[in-house]
Structure 1
Amino acid sequence: MSNRSSNRSVANASHSPHGTLTVLQGAALYVGAVLGTGVIALPALAANVAGPASLLAWLGLVVLSAPLAATFAALGARYPDAGGVATYVRRAFGARASAIVGWCFYFAVPAGAPAAAIFAGAYVAEAIGGGEQTVLLTGVALLAIVTAANAFGVTISGRMQLGLSTVLVALLVTAVAASAPHAHASNLHPFAPHGWLAVVPAAALLVWSFAGWEAITHLAGEFKHPSRDLPRASAIAVIVVGALYLAVALVSVLVLGPGAGRSSAPLAELLVLGIGGNVRVLAAGAALLLTLGTMNAYFAGAAKLGAALGRDGALPSWFAAGSLAGDVPRRSLAVISVLAALGMIAVTAAGVGPKPLVLLTTGSFVTVYALGCAAALRLLPRGTAAHRCAQVALVCVVALCAATGWFLLWPLVMSGCALLYLRLNRDRARQAAVHCDVS
């Protein structure tokens, strides 16, 4: 498929009718995608590594996430299409690079979703007992809920996400406000008990808490006014997520002191100090809310992406149903749900836990970020604020690639599979291009 026909294909797709998502629903999807389960445990892990100096790592990552979010929001506003990052890469580098990005993102979600579900299930099992059976049942229930929500369309999913994000924000604000009277400035001393260099590994731990700014680009065409609403939703989410992360991290250090680094559920402990209650039950409730929000946002984005990949010839044409704005990509959604369920059953049966799935997922997303930021440098007007944000974001992502290490082998495998599929289905890819050109 030539670059010229690929560009025309994307241009036609980007002029499809827009959807019904509002700014607030979009911001809620962003918050749900980024404000993941890390807020439950990562403040403690970072404090254990760097002490109070871990607050510098949190601040640095909040600042660095802004250009990444701005880059993807600018791309989504200019090219609103279900393909998301795959669409931008197609316009910049052609069909092969687009297929690589699409496969890396699409097949990362069925690995990441069960990992998150198992994480939440472990909190529920800790609260009510039942061991692995409770973990598995909780995970299956979470998968069923997000699948059902997205099967009724992104409007229903967006409304659910708005409700989830509202409750979640209220929970975090309550934890911070209720526990703040127990804060002691003396807990900031010594500020860097493990040395200033400990801030670097603390930041490496926290960087995964800020993944997700690319997920909502696949829903850009679902906004009522993508060019206006998507950047606004992104800006709101950056402020909300940054403020909540910093507030929870700061209060964890000031209130829990040295115990912050030893706590397995710092958020629950803050709630108990402020309003009382059962730590395990509160931790389970927070884990379920956070996990449900994250899974819902990623299922919505990945389902749309799968339909777009089917439309563009990077996946079988069977996937293509639901690629237009307002349509529901139920076939693509079904594939994600089935693969996620199989992944969860496999790791539960093997007894290896969610860690392998998490590492496979993060390696894939780093690849998506790198190619997405590189595409932004080609597509966004030079000299604009968006182009400068893309430059900063690319530097940050390159550093993230270095930290990922050999787990980049998985996206390399996915890349090989994507290119092999294109090679074996060259006629299908050409037909998809011709169909898009004349539609």
Structure 2
Amino acid sequence: MSTIAPERTIGFGQAVALYTGAVLGAGVLVLPGQAATMAGPASLLAWLFMGLLGLPLATTFAALATRYPDAGGIATYAARAFGPTAGGLSGWFYLVAGVLGQTIVPLTGGYYVAAALGAGPWAAYVVAGAILALATAANLAGMRLSGRVQLALAGGVALLLLAATLAALPHVGMEAFTGPTGFAPHGVSGVAKAAVVLFLAFAGWEAVAHLAGEFRDVRRDMRRATVATVAVVLVLYTGVAFAVVGTGTYGDPAVDRVAVGEVLGTGLGFSAAVASAVLATVISLGTTNTFLASLSRLAYALGSDGWTPGFLARRDTRGVPVAGVLTVAGGGAAGLAVSWAGGWGTEALVGIPASLVLVTYLVGMGSGARLLRGRARAHAATALVLTAAIAPFAAEYIAVPVMVAAVALLFRWKTAPRPVAKADGGHR
């Protein structure tokens, strides 16, 4: 195993950009429409709930990352709180969710570009592959370049989403919130199920924790970057969701996939398809870039602890876990191939990583409640209660974390060192 330490290149600005890219990701392109279809105008309550939940989640992960700045992130916290098996399983939950995300995020961008080109489904997969390849190249070049790329992408994302919100305001009518089916056509269960799906939109507070060891000053910048990003995300997410609901741009899977682009194009008076394509490419590339960096560090940490193959526990001379980057990117590419062969779109896949993220957050907040003290502990306990409140609505996906746990435990059992028998039949 390599002992090369990572370079400390991440400052405050890059930290905010990485956080923004992780949280304000491709989910904002497809989930406002999808959530509105599931819950009607009441989907805004699901967004508000998740926004409020995001604050204690974010501050808890920031406190844990500041106290334990390790590449293992959630796996490290769970291991310290509940033992090594809990840490290994948590790492697997998040790693599998993230690798699936490397299929969903680029493919979401591909949908938008394919729509702009008027091309068939094949174009979405070609564009998705290109997005994944560009993010992989940036990560292989090191965090210094990857962080600078992310800073530019995050600024572009924020400006485009703010433009979509403002452009929609003249087209918003109150009847959109009290139409023929009412404010909550699917009741409380519809809002709760939408909130479960929105876990994917708010997944990301934990992602930057895996990069804490590469901060120039983690104690100074981690918490400041967290607070700044919470404010940015709350404003942009709720604004975009309001715009989609207020203009009635939802109700069909094809519309849901490009709802934000439709709102942006209509409001500014130019091609919705072109607006969608530009927005989707910037967001998808930024999200993929951040999560490749985060997940490759997690794969490295799990490999170091014997929970993933040993070749992942290596860094190059610059501290880049090259094998981890290529493995995560390869998993995303394989997911694209399977999605294409099976004819599965993002709406069919999104519940799988969302359920794993939900379990990861439950473990993470439980770890925070056990390891932290004072206000940080109260934040962790609050987030744990709120997360647990919607967990029952993810029951249809319960088989997913069970299967991932079974595979992880089987790998660990197969690869763990066996005790060597003594001549007298004992063990050493």
The TM tier, using the shorter chain, reads 0.7 to 0.9
Note the C-alpha offset of 1:50: 4.3
Shifted more, 121-130 versus 228-237: the winner is 121-130
1:274 to 267, 270, 274: 267
1:332 matched to 2:324? The reply is yes
1:192 matched to 2:183? The reply is yes
1:211 matched to 2:200? The reply is no
1:225 matched to 2:214? The reply is no
1:358-407: CA deviation from partner (whole Å, max 9, x where unpaired): 333222222221211111111102xx111011101111222343222242
1:304 matched to 2:297? The reply is yes
More helix per residue: 1 or 2?
Answer: 1
User: What TM-score does the superposition give when structure 2 sets the normalisation length?
Assistant: 0.88
Equivalenced residues, count: 410
Contact kept in structure 2, 1:308 and 1:323, CA below 8 Å: no
Rounded Cα–Cα distance in structure 1 between residues aligned with 2:194 and 2:414 = 45
Contact kept in structure 2, 1:37 and 1:291, CA below 8 Å: yes
1:71 to 60, 80, 98: 60
What's 1:144 paired with? 133
What's 1:92 paired with? 81
Note the C-alpha offset of 1:346: 1.8
1:389 matched to 2:386? The reply is no
What's 1:83 paired with? 72
1:313-336: CA deviation from partner (whole Å, max 9, x where unpaired): 222322111299x61010111111
Note the C-alpha offset of 1:187: 4.6
What's 1:346 paired with? 338
Local SS of the residue matching 2:400 = helix
Note the C-alpha offset of 1:349: 1.7
Note the C-alpha offset of 1:81: 0.6
What's 1:159 paired with? 148
Letter in 1 for 2:330: V
What's 1:32 paired with? 21
Note the C-alpha offset of 1:185: 4.9
Rounded Cα–Cα distance in structure 2 between residues aligned with 1:64 and 1:71 = 11
Letter in 2 for 1:90: A
1:236 to 216, 222, 228: 228
Letter in 2 for 1:88: Y
Rounded Cα–Cα distance in structure 2 between residues aligned with 1:34 and 1:298 = 10
Gaps of 5+ in 1: 1-12, 430-439
Rounded Cα–Cα distance in structure 1 between residues aligned with 2:33 and 2:327 = 36
Contact kept in structure 1, 2:303 and 2:312, CA below 8 Å: yes
Note the C-alpha offset of 1:179: 3.5
Q: Residue 51 and residue 109 in structure 1: after superposition, are their counterparts in 2 closer, same or farther (change >3 A)? A: closer
Note the C-alpha offset of 1:239: 0.7
Note the C-alpha offset of 1:302: 0.4
Rounded Cα–Cα distance in structure 1 between residues aligned with 2:245 and 2:348 = 30
1:228-260: CA deviation from partner (whole Å, max 9, x where unpaired): 211111111111011101112223344x2x455
1:421 matched to 2:381? The reply is no
Note the C-alpha offset of 1:188: 4.3
Q: Residue 353 and residue 377 in structure 1: after superposition, are their counterparts in 2 closer, same or farther (change >3 A)? A: same
Contact kept in structure 2, 1:366 and 1:400, CA below 8 Å: no
Contact kept in structure 2, 1:18 and 1:225, CA below 8 Å: no
User: Over aligned residue pairs, what C-alpha RMSD do you find?
Assistant: 2.5
Contact kept in structure 2, 1:311 and 1:323, CA below 8 Å: no
Shifted more, 85-94 versus 286-295: the winner is 286-295
What's 1:107 paired with? 96
Q: Aligned residues: percent identity?
A: 38
User: What TM-score does the superposition give when structure 1 sets the normalisation length?
Assistant: 0.86
What's 1:246 paired with? 238
1:172 matched to 2:164? The reply is no
